[in-house]
Amino acid sequence: MATSNWSPSSWTTKPIKQDVIYEDVQGVKDALSQLQRLPPLVTAREVNNLKNSLKKVALGQAFVLQGGDCAELFDYCNQGMIEAKLKLLLQMSLILIWGANKPVIRIARIAGQFAKPRSSPTETVNGVEMPSFRGDNINGFEATPESRKPDPGRLVSAYFHSAATLNYMRAALSSGLADLHSPMDWGLGHVIEPSIKDQYSKIVNSVQDALRFMRTVGIDKDRGVETADIYTSHEGLSLEYESSMTQMLKQPLKTETGVTVQSEPAWYATSGHFLWIGDRTRQLDGAHVEFFRGISNPIGIKIGPTMVADDLVRLLDVVNPNKEIGKVTLISRYGASKIAQYLPGHIAAVQASGHIPVWQCDPMHGNGKATPSGVKTRHFTDILSELKQALEIHRQAGSFLGGMHLELTGEAVTECVGGAAGLTEDGLGERYTTFCDPRLNEKQALELAFLVAGFYREESQI
C-alpha cells in the first residue's frame, strides 16, 4: 500500500508537533530496540476484519461505538477496571443496536491510550516550572521535576501494560463476558435511576425472547451470541513507539476453492487495531501525516473548527490516495455551539471529492468548560446537543453519521455535569479522578446511549 518513498521511519524527515525531548539518548535507543524485538499486539487479520466492518459503517450499513478513558494510566491495568469498560461498551452497543437496527462495531480507547497532547510543554506547580504530564508512557503524574522528566523506559512499560490489558480482554470475551444469553450478568452496577434500569430491562427482555425462539427452532448454534469483538484504539501520538511496532505482515486468505494463501505483504502498526491523528498533529507536511499515510490500519483524523474544507480533502488524498471506502474515519469535534457552522461545509467538500469515510461525532472535546474554581468539566446537555445536531446535519446533507466517539469510564466518577442523576458543579469533587479530561460515568453513558438510540428510532420513522 505504501509508496516507494515511505518507510516506518520516513516521518523523521518531517517537522513534528507534540514531540518529546529525552535527555537519555542511549535509553531511547535501547527502549526502541527492545520494542522492535517484541511480538505484535494485534494481527493483520484482526486489523483487516475491523477495516471491512468500517467499510460497512461508511456505507450506512452499521454503526461504530468508540469509547474509553481520556488517558489510560498503568494503574488501570487491572481486572475490575478492564471489565467495567468492556461491560459498559457492551451495554451501550446493545442499546444502539436496538435503536439503529444495525450492527454495532465496538472500539475501545484502551490498551495503548497513554500519551496525551498538551497545549504547553511545561507548567508551573507551587512556583516550580516543570514539564507537563504527557501520559504514563512519557512521564509521571506526580508534580515534581524528577517525576515529570521524560523516561524512555516508560515506552517499554506501555507495551507490557497494553499486552496485559489486551490479553485479559481476549480471555474475558472468549470466556462469556459478552454472552447474550445472560446480558443482565453484565450488571448495572451503581446505576440507580429507575428510568434507565427499566429501559435497559425492556431491551434485555426482547433479546432474551429472541434467543429463546432461536433455541426453540434449533438455530441457536452460532458462537456470535456468546462473544463479541471489541477492537483497541489510541491516538498515534508517540511516533517513536508506533514506528518501532510497525511491521510488514501477510494475512492468510482462503480462495473460493478453500485453499489458504498468503496476502500481499503490507505495513501494519501492530500497537492497536485503530489509530488516529489528533487535531493538533494533522499538518499536511507534518510527521504524523507522513507516518499514517503508509500504514494499512484503518485510521481516524480529528477535525475541528480550524480545519479548512480544502485542506481536509487534501489530507484525505494524502492518507487515502486510492479512496478506499471506510479506510479513514473523520472524527468531528466542533462543540455544540459551532457544529452547525462547520460540519455542513466539511461534509459537502468530502462528498464532492469522491472520498467515502466513516463520519463519527466526538461531542466531548469541543465542549470543555471550567467551573469558577477552575475545575475542568463538560455539560451533558452540550454533549447530547452536538450529537443530535450531527445526526440532523448529516441527514439533511444526504450523508450518514456512522458513530460516536466518547470519553467514558465504567467507574462511578463525578466529572461531567448533568444527566438524569442531576450532577451539579458542587458535586464534582466527590469522585473527580481523571488525570486529564473529564469523562462520562456509567449512568451518563447509558443515558446517552438510550437518547441516541431514540434519535435513530425517530429518524427511521421520517
Sign of the dihedral through C-alpha 233, 238, 242, 244: negative
Instruction: Give the helix ranges, DSSP H, for 218-363.
Output: 239-244, 287-292, 309-319, 339-353
* Residue 161 annotated as binding site: no
* Residue 109 annotated as binding site: yes
CA 436 to chain centre: 16
128: which 3 cell numbers?
A: 516550580
* Residue 302 annotated as binding site: yes
121: which 3 cell numbers?
A: 510543554
- Do β-strands 128-131 and 122-125 pair in parallel, antiparallel, or remain unpaired? antiparallel
Q: What type of residue is 43?
A: T
131: which 3 cell numbers?
A: 514539564
Residues in contact with 32: Cβ distance below 8 Å, sequence separation at least 6, in sequence order: 152, 155, 240, 241, 244
User: Tell me, what DSSP letter sits at residue 448?
Assistant: H
Q: Within 13 Å, how many C-alpha atoms sit on residue 110's CB side?
A: 31
* Residue 437 annotated as binding site: yes
CA distance 117 to 28: 20
* Residue 382 annotated as binding site: no
b/e per residue, 266-279, with b = 16+ CB within 10 A? bbbbbbbbbbbbbb
Please spell the DSSP secondary structure of 61-77, one letter per residue: S-EEEEEE-SS--GGG-
* Residue 151 annotated as binding site: no
Greatest C-alpha distance within the chain: 72
CA distance 233 to 244: 17
Which helix (H) or strand (E) covers residue 274, if one does?
strand 274-277
* Residue 45 annotated as binding site: no
Residue list for the binding site for Mn(2+): 70, 365, 407, 437
Annotated binding site for phosphoenolpyruvate: 109, 302, 333
Binding site: what residues are annotated?
Answer: 70, 109, 302, 333, 365, 407, 437
